[in-house]
Structure 1
Amino acid sequence: MKFFIRLFFKSLRTVLGPVMLLKEKLTRPQGMTRPPAAQKKVDQQCRSLVLYQYQTCPFCIKVRQEMRRLSLDIQRIDAQPEGADRQALLKGGGKTKVPCLRITDKAGKTQWLYDSEKIIAYLRGRFLTA
């Protein structure tokens, strides 16, 4: 039974995935404009952030749209396929749930933030006034 459920959802992702990516592309928000010095400062701060995501996850798409809206150049890692990236997410954050934002502070301490709403609130709080 578990096999058929997985097959069903895999088939559903195969069909709906391209549609979701097309919708993301067509509804791409315009990024905010900052003075060059301010944008450079934001880009520098974004180097300490990494978004673990699945390409067709609706919650990940929501976070990526907000990143575009805020003009944030945050590294994105696809954690869907089995491999080193997925294992890094599991080892660091404790679960393979996405979206997950890895935040590394200046001291090198890492925090793992799950849940799209919490990630968006964090990004807005940190970068909306920047």
Structure 2
Amino acid sequence: MLVKLIRNALGLVIVSADVVTRWSRIKRSPEAQQKVNEVASNLTLYHFFACPFCTKTRRVIYKLNAPVKKLSATQGSPHRDALINGGGKVQVPCLRIQHDDGQVEWMYESKAIISYLNERFAG
């Protein structure tokens, strides 16, 4: 119980610091932003609100101005079941990538996700 309370308090501090220190978003032409929106519509981030690795990943999504769908995978959530059924484990952050050919990829690890997002949206 005490550990959960401490974890939640630290998570609130991390999320608050994120909001206060958030970078500005990339600005694009309307046409370029529309292309980003189309690509991002095939992406879903499964996350926990107070997870530091999830916060790091959400910061990059914000900076890249990519409207990636975000779903909380907290205990009891139907999104948690989708994460287990699709990706095979409860580990966040997890990026669900729906490829054009219909294949679905489940990408774990914040560094891998951030690298993928930067390759897709930074340039």
TM (norm. structure 2) is 0.95
The alignment's C-alpha RMSD in Å is: 1.0
Do residues 86 (structure 1) and 64 (structure 2) align? no
Choose 1 or 2 for highest CA Rg. Answer: 1
1:55 aligns with 2:49: yes
1:85 counterpart SS class: helix
Question: C-alpha separation between the residues in 2 aligned to 1:111 and 1:9?
Answer: 34
Aligned structure 1 segments of 4 or more residues deviating by more than 2 angstroms: none
| Alignment-derived partner of residue 117 in structure 1 | 111
Aligned to 2:71: 77
How many residue pairs get aligned? The number is 123
Runs of at least 5 residues in structure 2 that lack an aligned partner in the other structure: none
What residue is the counterpart of 1:33 in the other structure? 27
- For structure 1, the 5+ residue unaligned runs are 1-6
Scaled by the length of structure 1, what TM-score is found? 0.90
Deviation at 1:21, TM superposition (A): 1.7
Give aligned-pair identity as a percent. 38
| Equivalent residue number for residue 46 of structure 1 | 40
Offset at residue 80 of structure 1 (A): 1.3
Give the Cα–Cα distance (whole angstroms) in 2 for the partners of residues 81 and 73 of structure 1.
25
Q: Which residue of 1 aligns with 2:122?
A: 128
